[in-house]
Amino acid sequence: MVALSSTGRWLAAGTAQGKITVWNQTSGTAPQQITFSTAPFGELNDLRFSPDEHVLAIASGDLGMYVPEEPTAPRLLRADHENYGSVRFSRDGQNLLVVTGAGVIETLDAHSGALRLKVCCTTIYGEVTFTPDGQAIANAGHRPSLWDARSGTFIGRLITNRPFRTFGPIAFDDRRGAILMGSQNGRVYAWNLGKKQLVAVSPPQSGYVDTLAVSTTGWVIFAGFGGRVELWNPDSGEHRSMIAARPTSNLVLGLDGTSVIFGTANGDVEFWDITTEQRTRALRIPEM
């Protein structure tokens, strides 16, 4: 699992076992290393920096908060063993959006962990996230849907019938006004966010789409863990593969909007330019 803060100052990478490394990319100091393990209540599922870069949220069997500028042990925000599948901050950083192992969507106070809103139901495999304007919550899972972020009122579904496969990662395409989700059938689906209408479907890859991002130039970037990175342009239908790029973590869009960052099976965090399809940099995750 990889996370990048809003200005790129902090970069975090974590293993499924909860070993997390945090780099300060502006100071060049030695990376910080922490462990957030809640076994047997769940592996590390997600990492996310707050909008102000002050806090790293950690989703695992429990929910944790780590402050890189004050390197002490992570603080437990929720110690209820609910197995949190993903975590997202609201635009103002005051709320957290999570999905539990029971498939319940919740928003929590980012400081106290107090419950703000509960919506039922989705699946832990599928991500939940705020829409770019912060007004709605989108969930993947078996029935991709939208909910009002303040009241929890159901807005609508993106599909009418439950598909055989489940949707996992979510990304937004601001240029096209679209929401995209990767499916277990190896394709990426794009809907017009306002009209909730399907507008494009990618060519398939051989395995699940486990991770997904959209470049500022309009290319959709997706992959299955351990598979090659695929590039797809929904407008032209053009599709190509970055054969040497093999992520075993989520894809994070670089600050330039045309590069991606991801973890690999050999213990590196790699940086790739999607225009040249070349690796530009790699960081070795230190042994803990």
HSE on the CB side for 89, CA within 13 Å?
Answer: 22
Name the one residue in this structure whose structure tokens are 């103002």: 92
Residue-by-residue DSSP string for 226-279: TS-EEEE-TTT--EEEETT---SS--EE-TTSSEEEEE-TTSEEEEEETTTTEE
Q: Once rounded to an integer, what is the mean pLDDT over residues 223-232?
A: 96
Q: How far apart are the first and last CA of the chain?
A: 16
Q: What is the pLDDT of residues 90-127, one digit of tens each?
A: 999 999 999 999 999 999 999 999 999 999 888 878 99
Q: Once rounded to an integer, what is the mean pLDDT over residues 115-143?
A: 92
Q: What is the predicted pLDDT for the residue at 165?
A: 82
* Euclidean distance between CA atoms 154 and 144, whole angstroms: 12
Q: What percent of the chain has pLDDT over 90?
A: 87
* Largest CA-CA distance found in the chain, in angstroms, rounded: 52
Q: What is the predicted pLDDT for the residue at 41?
A: 66
Which region among 81-90, 135-144, 154-163, 252-261 has the lowest average model confidence (pLDDT)? 154-163
Overall pTM > 0.75: yes
* Euclidean distance between CA atoms 32 and 21, whole angstroms: 6
Q: What is the mean pLDDT of the chain?
A: 94
Q: Once rounded to an integer, what is the mean pLDDT over residues 62-75?
A: 92
Report all structural domains of the chain as residue ranges with CATH numbers, in order of start.
Answer: 1-159 (2.130.10.10), 163-288 (2.130.10.10)
